[in-house]
């Protein structure tokens, strides 16, 4: 940004084919002249000087228009072109576009796009010179896995093409995708694209001039195997290292706060000693609900070689700094041989605190009811209701 209304952009594009390279460098200035529109002037050099002009304008609550023109001074003459697009919101998830294009490839194009959380669908009909075609594309989205699966079919006067591929987000700023294109007369093409922030790297690999089964097979399997190896031996170790570094930074950041919360929790637990003895004695006399062991925190950090919940195995010796003993505070919450904790973080309970900020936590409870051993584990934000018959431990 240069000012509140002006933004400058420098863009570079490089291309190489059979040992011959080409590229362009473009400098553009975008000015926001009102809330409804902007215009942009650009100039570039590469395959001859080029001058461009873009504009955008909101026409109504549901419609907008954009115009883009260019003038290029090439060795074989002056080239010019104009693109004009009118767009309309059909509904919250659907957009319609009408585009008129002039220049070396003149055309009129209509596109419908529907975008929802789980998928993205587009249908395009283009009538133009030298080719006309109909294109249908569909993308399956998996937000939890940062994964997209894409399919497309394109047919027209040039022939027909089927495309399928996948796109995976490997980090906050990086995305990698692989697409296989099978058609006539294009043959079999594997396109690998790596996107890093605003940088794009595209590697088109021509495997065959004809749509034969073996090139299609290799174009599909080779990227999958390569991705599996890279993910296992390169990406996963890097991400694990980043996660550990992030956790360590969080620990360092909250170290003082956690120490203060620990002291407050220990003070509250000491004040509960009288109530704990009374409640436990009452529950033992009626063979009611007696909490024998309760721990809270990142249970995955505990050793699996021994039973960390059994006092005979030395529970306190096996516990790490990510786990705290909450037997006394939990027993004090027992009323009439029942214990109910609602669906909120357990760190807010009296005598509790968060020993591992930003990590998944759980609460493990081992208790006696009618002199029978019970145990259960609940996630941090899950409700806890005991006693329950399903928690009973069957000794064989």
Q: Per the domain annotation, does 235 fall within a domain?
A: no
Instruction: Report the distance separating Cα 211 and Cα 155, nearest Å.
Output: 15
Q: Are 180 and 257 within one domain?
A: no
Q: Report pLDDT digits (tens) over 329-352.
A: 999 999 999 999 988 899 999 999
Q: Per the domain annotation, does 85 fall within a domain?
A: no
Q: Are 151 and 278 within one domain?
A: no
How many domains, in total, are found in the chain?
3
Q: Are 280 and 376 within one domain?
A: yes
Q: Are 183 and 256 within one domain?
A: no
Q: Per the domain annotation, does 3 fall within a domain?
A: yes
Helices (H) and strands (E) in the chain, counts: 5, 21
Is the torsion defined by CA of 237, 239, 243, 246 positive or negative? positive
Q: Report pLDDT digits (tens) over 88-136.
A: 999 999 999 999 999 888 999 999 999 999 999 999 999 998 899 999 9
Q: Are 63 and 113 within one domain?
A: no
Which residues does residue 50 pair with via DSSP β-bridges, in sequence order? 44, 72
Q: Per the domain annotation, does 230 fall within a domain?
A: no
In contact, 383 and 340? CB cutoff 8 Å: yes
What does the DSSP 8-state code read for residue 305? Answer: S
Q: Report pLDDT digits (tens) over 24-52.
A: 899 999 999 999 999 999 999 887 899 99
Q: Are 160 and 200 within one domain?
A: yes
What's the predicted TM-score (pTM) here?
Answer: 0.66
Q: Per the domain annotation, does 216 fall within a domain?
A: no
Residue that is last in its domain, among 30, 59, 76: 76
Q: Are 122 and 251 within one domain?
A: no
Q: Per the domain annotation, does 202 fall within a domain?
A: yes
Average pLDDT for 217-243: 91
In contact, 52 and 41? CB cutoff 8 Å: yes
Instruction: Check residue 171 and give its pLDDT.
Output: 83
Instruction: Check residue 105 and give its pLDDT.
Output: 84
In contact, 327 and 279? CB cutoff 8 Å: no
Q: Are 160 and 197 within one domain?
A: yes
Domain limits for position 383: 246-307+318-391
Q: Are 280 and 370 within one domain?
A: yes
Q: Per the domain annotation, does 20 fall within a domain?
A: yes
Per-residue tokens: 298: 């990142």
Q: Are 171 and 38 within one domain?
A: no
Q: Are 206 and 250 within one domain?
A: no
Task: Determine which helix (DSSP H) or strand (DSSP E) holds 145, and give its type and residue range.
Answer: none
Instruction: Report the distance separating Cα 218 and Cα 259, nearest Å.
Output: 57
Residue that is last in its domain, among 61, 76, 91: 76
Q: Per the domain annotation, does 289 fall within a domain?
A: yes
In this predicted structure, the answer to whether residue 189 has a pLDDT above a threshold of 90 is yes
Per-residue tokens: 334: 């027992």
Q: Are 355 and 252 within one domain?
A: yes
b/e sequence 154-181, b meaning 16+ C-beta within 10 Å: bebeeebbebebbbbbbeeeebbbbbbb
Out of 7-21, 46-60, 116-130, 192-206, pick the least confident: 7-21
Nearest to 393 by CA among 324, 315, 309: 309
């Amino acid at each position: 940004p240069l000012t509140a209304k002006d933004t400058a952009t420098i863009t570079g594009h490089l291309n190489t084919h059979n040992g011959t390279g080409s590229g362009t460098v473009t400098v553009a200035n975008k000015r926001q002249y009102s809330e409804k529109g902007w215009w942009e002037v650009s100039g570039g050099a590469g395959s001859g000087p080029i001058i461009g002009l873009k504009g955008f304008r909101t026409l109504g609550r549901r419609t907008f228009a954009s115009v883009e023109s260019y003038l290029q001074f090439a060795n074989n003459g002056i080239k010019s072109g104009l693109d004009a697009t009118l767009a309309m919101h059909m509904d919250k998830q659907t957009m319609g576009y009408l585009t008129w294009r002039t220049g070396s490839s003149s055309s009129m194009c209509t596109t419908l796009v529907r975008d929802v959380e789980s998928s993205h669908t587009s249908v395009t009909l283009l009538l133009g010179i030298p080719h006309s075609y109909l294109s249908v594309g569909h993308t399956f989205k998996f937000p939890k896995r940062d994964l997209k699966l894409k399919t497309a079919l394109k047919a027209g006067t040039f022939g027909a093409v089927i495309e399928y591929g996948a796109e995976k987000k490997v980090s906050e700023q990086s995305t990698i995708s692989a697409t296989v294109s099978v058609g006539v007369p294009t043959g079999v093409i594997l396109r690998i694209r790596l996107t890093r922030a605003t940088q794009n790297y595209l590697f088109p690999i021509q495997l065959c001039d004809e749509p034969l089964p073996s090139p299609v097979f290799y174009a599909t399997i080779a990227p999958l195997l390569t991705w599996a190896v890279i993910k296992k031996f390169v990406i996963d170790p890097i991400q694990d290292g980043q996660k550990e570094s992030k956790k360590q930074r969080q620990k360092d950041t909250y170290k003082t706060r956690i120490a203060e919360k620990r002291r407050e929790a220990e003070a509250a637990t000491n004040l509960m000693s009288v109530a704990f003895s009374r409640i436990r004695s009452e529950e033992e006399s009626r063979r009611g609900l007696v909490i024998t062991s309760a721990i809270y925190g990142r249970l995955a950090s505990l050793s699996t070689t021994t039973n960390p919940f059994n006092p005979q195995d030395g529970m306190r010796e096996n516990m790490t700094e990510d786990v705290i003993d909450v037997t006394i505070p939990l027993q004090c919450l027992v009323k009439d041989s029942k214990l109910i904790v609602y669906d909120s973080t357990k760190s807010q309970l009296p005598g509790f605190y968060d020993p591992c900020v930003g990590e998944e936590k759980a609460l493990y409870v081992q208790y006696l009811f009618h002199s029978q051993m019970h145990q259960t584990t609940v996630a941090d934000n899950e409700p806890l209701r005991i006693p329950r018959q399903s928690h009973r431990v069957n000794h064989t």
